[in-house]
Amino acid sequence: MLMKHLMGLGATAIMLATSINAAQAAWPEKPITIYCPYSAGGGTDATARFFAAGLRKEFGVPVNVVNRTGANGLTGHSAMAKSKPDGYSIGTLGQAIGLYHWQGMELSYKDITPLVMYNFDPAGFQVGPSKAEFKDAMAVIEDLKANPDKWTLGAAGRMGSWGMAFTKLALDFGMVPSKYSWISSGGAAPSLTELAAGGIDLSPTSLPEAKTLIDAGKIRALAVMSDKRLPGFPDVPTMEEVTGKRIVSGAWRGIAAPAGLPEDIKAKYVKALRNIWESEDFKKGMEKFGYGLAWMEGEEFDKFLVENDVNAGIILEATKGEAKK
């Protein structure tokens, strides 16, 4: 009798294990949601839709982009992070993930499963007609240090990617970032228009965003915060070439899932996302929008997110003195 009971338990265990393995092997079986923290039609939304189309082909299930906007991306990042970690909810990830907990909000890189970084756009360093006498970035930096009250800067929010890039540069050169007047706008486009009109003096947006006005001679690009010159802007030197300091900063985008995502599903995502990122269709789409291709995964991306978090705290404290642990 005991033997029969034990055999029955063994059979049940085998059936359960087989069922679990079959379920894992079958993933995905239903639609996948990609949460985008920013508005439809924007750059992050566009890249999310590139990946959605690619994942449909990779996994053979519907993949839908859901825009959850608000609170500097907090709404969308939270929607992803608080989803069930079963692989059916992922989201685009940006620099703001390093800010939230410093601002007293309960969300950080510790609440997600990082998958990949797929994009990096270095910040530029552009002046407008109000500062037409400046021909190189070092001269601008020296004047910024000597006369902080005579400069007005602008881009999107001060704690957006471009504002944070300027603050990083300012700290590297011993400036006090809070001394500078910063005009926040609805994004790079309106700030560049204001720069060309003389309403602000300097904007650290990306070079592709500024290309039309640079080509028209209405603003001047003095440097780019990257390791090397950009292919589309061979005449614009890196900040290191001009100043001797290696300054790499800008906007980046990645993809993540909720914390606790099973390792086998994570591996499937990373493989599929890399296939999409390496495809000609994806490269053409990124080129159309002027977005730079960059790739990180695994320990490299994990380390990057830790550094991003530390830098965000330093930058927030330097600009507002409101950093919190």
pLDDT at position 61 over 70: yes
Q: Which structure tokens are listed for 263?
A: 């390792």
The pLDDT value given to residue 14: 52
Whole-number pLDDT of residue 6:
47
| pLDDT value at 16 more than 80 | no
Is pLDDT at 22 greater than 80 in this prediction?
A: no
**From CA 272, how far away is CA 266, in angstroms rounded?**
10
Q: Is the pLDDT of residue 20 over 70?
A: no
**Residue 197 region, left (φ>0) first, then alpha (ψ -120 to 50), else beta?**
alpha
In the numeric block, the tokens 């291709």 are attached to 293
- Assess contact for 113 and 85: CB atoms under 8 A: yes
pLDDT at 218 over 60: yes
DSSP 206: B
Task: Give the model's pLDDT for residue 176.
Answer: 93
What is the predicted pLDDT for the residue at 39? 86
| Structure tokens given for 183 | 């005009």
**Partners of 114 in the β-ladder:** 256
Question: Any idea what the Cα angle at residue 80 is, between residues 78 and 85, rounded to 5°?
Answer: 125
Rounded mean pLDDT of the chain? 90
Joined together, the tokens standing for residue 13 give 């265990």
Q: What angle do CA 131, 134, 139 make, to 5 degrees?
A: 125
CA dihedral over 38, 43, 46, 47, signed as positive or negative: negative
Element (H, E) at 251: strand 250-258
pTM of the predicted model as reported, rounded to 2 decimal places: 0.84
pLDDT above 90 (res 72):
no
Separation CA 68–CA 285 (nearest Å): 23
Which is higher by pLDDT, 254 or 158? Answer: 254
Phi-psi region of 146 (alpha: psi -120 to 50; beta: other; left: phi over 0): alpha
Give first-to-last CA distance, the chain, whole Å.
61
* Residue 15 pLDDT grade (very low, low, confident, very high; cuts 50, 70, 90): low
| Residue 148 per-residue DSSP state | G
Percent of the chain residues topping a pLDDT of 90: 77
pLDDT for the residue numbered 322: 41
pLDDT of residue 4: 55
CB 308 within 8 A of CB 127: no
pLDDT digits (tens, 9 = 90+) for 220-255: 999 999 999 998 899 999 999 999 999 999 999 999
Whether pLDDT at 114 is above 80: yes
Give percent above pLDDT 70 in the chain.
91
Residue 25: predicted pLDDT: 59
Q: What number is the average pLDDT over the span 83-97?
A: 96
